[in-house]
Amino acid sequence: MRRLEAAGRLNTGAQARDARHMQSISAFVRQMFVDAGLDESDVYTDSIVPGYYRRSKNWDVVAMHRGQLVAVAELKSQASSPGNNANNRIEEAIGSAYDAKAVQDLTGAFGDLGVWAAWCMTFNRDAEDGDPIELTPFQTARLRFPITDSAFVPMTYASQYASAIQRLIAQNVYQAGWMVTTWVNPDGTVEYDEPVPTATARTLRTQIEARVTFALQALGG
């Protein structure tokens, strides 16, 4: 994380306002795979692989070795309007992981290593006021079962993302993840937090190193 901050990239993407910061984060994650031992020529950004329930899927980082898939990573940001997009982002994350695994399980297209996937989210805390999100009277009237899961009572969009990433990793839907919450202070300085202990830059790097080590041993360095 220090390397990303030192390069000025966190400041660039602090509010997740445009694609530039995601390009920086893609390069940062890509470099993790290279640092772990893969050749530069085997780690790609913004690449396409086959899908099963759809023709193909764009992944932000695709790592390979000897023509076989080592890993894929999806990088997302939420800059504004989380009420309109947060649930969709989480649903897309689940679908992308299961689609990739279906390709491998049913066609073996990716090689011998199976699918290893990471999902990373940069959330602009300034996109919401931090107050708990409550169901509207209209939504409550349509509720058919009580919401009792303590992870979502109370809930903000930031905490929903954090719970989702923690659970995606715990349930092995994704094998690794990273969540960064950013905000801008009144004096214009940028700060960030990594609210999920199992999904930090450090844990992501550790898991990438383990995956690359496994791939090099299995396929030959």
Tell me the pLDDT tens digit for each residue of 85-138: 888 999 999 999 999 999 999 999 999 999 999 999 999 988 888 889 888 999
Residues 6 or more apart from 24 whose CB is under 8 A from it?
Answer: 4, 7, 9, 12, 13
Q: What is the pLDDT of residue 167?
A: 98
Highest CATH level, class, for 2-129+156-219? alpha beta
Q: Which residues pair with 122 in a beta bridge?
A: 77, 180
The CA radius of gyration of the chain, in Å to the nearest whole number, is 18
* Model confidence pLDDT, tens digit, residues 26-42: 999 999 999 999 999 99
Rounded to an integer, what distance in angstroms lies between the CA atom of residue 75 and that of residue 78?
11
User: Three-state DSSP class for 139?
Assistant: helix
Residue 1, pLDDT > 60, answer: no
Residues 6 or more apart from 212 whose CB is under 8 A from it?
Answer: 33, 36, 37, 38, 63, 70, 71
Mean pLDDT of 52-75: 97
Cβ–Cβ contacts within 10 Å for residue 34, how many? 16
Rounded to an integer, what distance in angstroms lies between the CA atom of residue 93 and that of residue 13?
21
- Report the relative pairing of strands 190-193 and 117-124 from DSSP bridges: unpaired
* Model confidence pLDDT, tens digit, residues 130-181: 889 888 999 999 999 999 999 998 899 999 999 999 999 999 999 999 999 9
